[in-house]
């Protein structure tokens, strides 16, 4: 089985590709819808600004391709900015509509809390607290250490609680870390850069969507 990494010019493609290869995945990195349509699951990475990403996806026709693939129930994982694009809208730079696979708005950290000012971006290691388990984590024993690596200035707010899998606390802000709706999953952190637990989550997602043998 093959996993397709969507190349729209704004993704951390190399690190994601190498992480998948270390898990013995057959990987295709492409911007061609025909090539990507022949894969068994898709990953949408992302680094940069929300409006620029949506513009690039629209210009290449990959936005409609992604919608068609999700309508066909193909598994999709969004990572970092790739996850944010799956929400309804973002306030980054200028108000911009997203894919609306997840409910909520991408909002900037204020930098102020009852504890005083805090650093933006949220950068570094933080612990995930699981609210529920998606089917790809059911009957799995989670490692005791659940640290993952975040690098972001915006996060999903006003979300649908039923879509929330795991979150992290950042100065009193609940940061959605993992979200799931049907065949679509999102991870705000970088699983490929998050040590053993990040690799564990990526591997379990791959197992769950049938890309790897369980």
Residue 80 falls in the annotated catalytic set: yes
Per-residue pLDDT at 210: 82
Of 189, 211, 186, the C-alpha closest to 198 is: 189
Catalytic position from the list 25, 92, 190, 203: 190
**Phi and psi at residue 117, in whole multiples of 5°?**
-75, 150
- Asked whether residue 214 is domain-assigned, the answer is no
- The pLDDT of residue 115 is 82
Domains held by the chain: number: 1
Domain contains 68: yes
Confidence of residue 211 (pLDDT cuts 50, 70, 90): confident
Is the pLDDT score of 90 beyond 50? yes
Residue 213 forms part of a structural domain: no
Task: Determine, yes or no, domain membership for 109.
Answer: yes
Q: Kindly name the residue from 17, 92, 192, 203 that is annotated as catalytic.
A: 192
Q: What is the CATH number of the domain that holds 189?
A: 3.40.50.880
Q: Is residue 64 a part of any domain in this protein?
A: yes
Which domain covers residue 39, as residue numbers? 2-208
Give the mean model confidence (pLDDT) for residues 167-191: 97
Pairwise CA distance, residues 35 & 211, whole Å:
17
Residue 192 is among the residues annotated as catalytic for this protein:
yes
pLDDT at residue 12 greater than cutoff 90: no
Q: pLDDT value at position 162? A: 97
Helical residues (DSSP H) of the chain, grouped into ranges: 13-22, 33-37, 50-60, 62-71, 81-84, 195-208
* For the chain, percent of residues with pLDDT exceeding 70: 99
Instruction: Give the mean pLDDT of the chain.
Output: 95
pLDDT of the residue at 114: 86
Q: Which of 80, 92, 152, 185 is catalytic?
A: 80
Does 32 reside within a domain?
Answer: yes
CA–CA gap between residue 24 and residue 26 (Å, rounded): 7
Residue range 157-173: mean pLDDT, rounded: 97
Predicted TM-score (pTM) of the model is 0.96
Q: Determine the pLDDT at residue 19.
A: 93
Question: How sure is the predictor about 1, in pLDDT bands with cuts at 50, 70 and 90?
Answer: confident
What is the mean pLDDT of the segment spanning 67-95? 98
Report yes or no on 18 lying in a domain.
yes
User: What integer is the mean pLDDT of 37-42?
Assistant: 97
Peptide bond into 205 cis (omega under 30): no
């Amino acid at each position: 089985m093959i996993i397709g990494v969507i190349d729209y010019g704004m993704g951390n493609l190399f690190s994601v590709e190498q992480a998948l290869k270390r898990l013995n995945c057959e990987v295709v990195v492409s911007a061609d819808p025909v090539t990507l349509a022949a894969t068994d699951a898709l990953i949408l990475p992302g680094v940069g600004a929300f409006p620029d990403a949506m513009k690039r996806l629209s210009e290449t026709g990959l936005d409609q391709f992604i919608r068609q693939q999700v309508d066909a129930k193909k598994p999709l994982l969004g990572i970092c900015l790739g996850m944010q694009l799956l929400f309804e809208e973002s306030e980054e730079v200028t108000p911009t509509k997203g894919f609306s696979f997840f409910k909520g708005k991408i909002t900037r950290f204020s930098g102020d809390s009852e504890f005083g000012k805090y650093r933006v971006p949220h950068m570094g290691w933080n612990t995930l607290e699981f609210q529920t388990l998606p089917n790809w984590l059911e009957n799995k024993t989670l490692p005791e250490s659940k640290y993952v690596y975040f690098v972001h200035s915006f996060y999903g707010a006003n979300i649908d609680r039923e879509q929330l899998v795991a979150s992290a606390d950042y100065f009193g802000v609940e940061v959605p870390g993992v979200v799931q709706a049907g065949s679509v999953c999102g991870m705000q952190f970088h699983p490929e850069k998050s040590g053993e637990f990040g690799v564990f989550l990526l591997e379990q997602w791959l197992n769950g969507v049938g890309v790897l043998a369980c």
